[in-house]
Structure 1
Amino acid sequence: MNRFTLTAAATALSAIVTPALAADKGEVELAYVEWSTEIASTNVVKVALEDLGYEVKITPVSAAAMWQAVGTGDVDGLVAAWLPTTHAHYIEKVADSIEDLGPNLEGTRIGLVVPSYVEIDSIAELDDAAARFDNEIIGIDPGAGIMSKTELAIETYGLDDIELVEGTGPIMSAMLGDAIDNGDWIVVTGWTPHWLEAKYDLKYLEDPEGIYGGEEKIHTVVRKGLKEEMPEVYALLDNFHWTPEQMAEVMVWNQEKRADPYENARRWVEENADIVESWKP
């Protein structure tokens, strides 16, 4: 076999080597909350890091536990920090032991969301219409920043006849879908981007008191020392940035029957190789 044949064979072999067979550069652990946005982004970053040769573990936890883990250095980072409002009280507690790498997605917001056919437009009108909503705001997991903001909204707007119901993102989504199918009034804790926006005609209730803040951004946050210990990982996390439309594409795939978020993330990475390439150091 001549040198050309050997070189061609080596090139062909390298082209079919899977990420799992790439050189193991060490383990990276990321934490995330099980919101549709964070499931999408964390899996995409996992795939991108695997393609660089890292073993990547992603751990779903509550928002409080996520911030505590990065603050103590138990995980290397997260791409799920909603700032400046939703996670403000968490980042204050760990500010000295983390590094905020800035936004990885812009154009987000949080608030109370209703179907567009609901005949009120402001949170201030909720109490008078409480019975139409079964006296409930359908929430998500109790540790989420949007839940503490909603508790503050109930107090600020004097929603004495409204109770905030704890749950999860999937439960909230299912209850919203059922209500819309029946033409019922429902109010939920909502955020943008979300796959629900692509499926249903929804609207945010106006928030004249500004409880939920204005436009938010999703930031990447890492533990102190990551830059020195794993510069390649740090660089990719620092460069990671995509648009709400790109994230929404993955989220919609994740809602399909028997969908696998990891496989959908790999599909997106393969179909958007030029974007992922720009994240690499």
Structure 2
Amino acid sequence: MRISMPRFVKLIALPLALVLGAGTAQAADKTITFGWTAWSDAEFVTKLAKKVIEENYDYDVKLQLSSIGVQYQGVAGGDLDGMLMAWLPSTHENYWNKVGDKVESLGPLYEGAKLGWVVPDYIPEDELSSIEDLKKPEVKEKLDGNIQGIDPGAGLMQLSEKTIEGYDLDYNLQSASGAAMTAALARAAKNEEWVVVTGWTPHWMFGRWDLRFLDDPKGTLGEAEHIDAVVRQGFKEDYPQVAEFLTRMHLPLDELQAAMNEAQETSYEEAIDNYVADHEDRINDWLGK
């Protein structure tokens, strides 16, 4: 997932109200607003939660696309009811340190997620197997001195900046989106060109191409993590049934990644419909039935 998936580079400067809208969550409101970012794992999990909530409880779920930093701010300030993509303990550590006392975690949605720098398997391991190998002049030349990143507010990008510093690398970390990152990977793979991208599991790209993580001997990109549902203060009192559902919601990593792969071949909506149909017992467990 998991997403895709750094510590502060910079926060979006737009006023929060312009991004999220003016209103704050009200206890009597029948609309629950979740923030999300277009990472493949976050998109699947958030839209899956939306479908199950709307089909089983008397609420509408609104999804607000925004950056990670804005989501943490929004949940802390009550402009968002929650976010289902908090990478803890390391990836979003700086965000959590700023707002952790103003929000509440409902526990992990999935576990065993991993961040790192990813390369295609056709790049020989004896030439590039570790982040340390990026210091080799011949390796830097083949990569044009670039690491392909994702959106600048992402925790993975913040960790990647720290990694460049920690390994004393003379590389440019290119900011983009998750989609731009996979597009760059696709272009490189088509002609078996060298490329390093910021990546994470679970992600559909591991089902499409043969990829591997570069070794990170200094551990600057962190260890395996859990992805939590985080809600505003008062959410559990305002929406107790939904809070209980989110507390019980938990996806095995292999199931999630398989569903994400399917979503890329069809659509997230179709993949979610199929997941719900194929995992009735699991969904009922989440619902406490």
So what's the TM-score if we normalise by structure 1?
0.87
Residue aligning to 2:34: 30
**Per-residue deviation, 1:263:** 3.9
Query: Aligned runs of 1:196-275 on 2, under 5 Å?
Result: 196-256=205-265, 259-275=266-282
Superposition pairs of residues 139-150 of structure 1, within 5 angstroms? 139-150=149-160
Are the aligned partners of 2:106 and 2:243 in contact in 1 as well (CA < 8 Å)? no
State how far apart, in whole Å, the 1-side matches of 2:54 and 2:278 are: 16
Work out whether 1:42 is the aligned partner of 2:64. Answer: no
Give, in whole Å, the separation in 2 of the partners of 1:61 and 1:25: 21
Q: How many Å separate the matches in 2 of 1:251 and 1:77?
A: 22
% of aligned pairs identical? Answer: 38
Partner in structure 2 of residue 154 of structure 1: 164
Question: Which secondary structure state, in structure 2, belongs to the residue aligned with residue 203 of structure 1?
Answer: strand
2:140 counterpart residue number: 130
Q: How far is 1:55 from its partner?
A: 0.6
**SS of aligned partner of 1:241:** coil
Distance verdict in 2 for CA 1:92–1:192, change over 3 Å: same
Aligned AA (1:272): H
Letter in 1 for 2:206: E
Larger radius of gyration: 1
Measure the CA separation in 2 of the matches of 1:155 and 1:221: 31
- Provide Cα deviations, 1:21-64, integer angstroms capped at 9, x if missing partner: xxx98111111111001000000000010012311111111110
Match of 2:24?
none
SS in 2 for 1:126: helix
Shift of 1:143: 0.3
Which residue does the alignment assign to 1:74? 79
Q: CA deviation at 1:123?
A: 0.4
Name which of structure 1's ranges 106-115 and 260-269 shifts more when overlaid on structure 2. Answer: 260-269
Match of 2:285 among 270, 273, 278: 278
Does the alignment pair 1:104 with 2:116? no
The residue identity in structure 1 corresponding to 2:106 is: L
CA distance in 1, matches of 2:106, 2:40: 22
Q: Give the secondary-structure state (helix, strand or coil) at the position aligned to 1:57.
A: strand
Q: Secondary structure at the match of 1:255?
A: helix
**Residue 99 of structure 1, CA deviation:** 0.7
Displacement of 1:262: 3.1
Paired AA for residue 64 in structure 2: T
SS in 1 for 2:96: helix
**2:122 aligns to what SS in structure 1?**
coil
Instruction: Provide the residue aligned with 2:191 in structure 1.
Output: 182
In the TM superposition, what whole-angstrom CA distance separates every residue of 1:148-193 from its partner, at most 9, and x where no partner exists? 1111111111112x10001111111011111111011100001011
Name the structure 2 match of 1:7. Answer: none
Alignment gaps of 5+ in structure 1:
1-23
In 2, Cα distance between equivalents of 1:263 and 1:197: 20
C-alpha contact 2:263 2:269 (8 A) present in aligned 1:
no
Change (3 A) 1:158 1:95: same
* Contact kept in structure 1, 2:108 and 2:250, CA below 8 Å: yes
Alpha-carbon separation, structure 2, partners of 1:67 and 1:130: 36
CA contact (8 A) 1:25 1:55 kept: no
Residue 47 of structure 1 contacts residue 269 of structure 1 at CA under 8 Å; is this kept in 2? Answer: no
Distance 1:55 1:223, change over 3 A: same
1:184 is paired with a residue of what secondary structure? coil
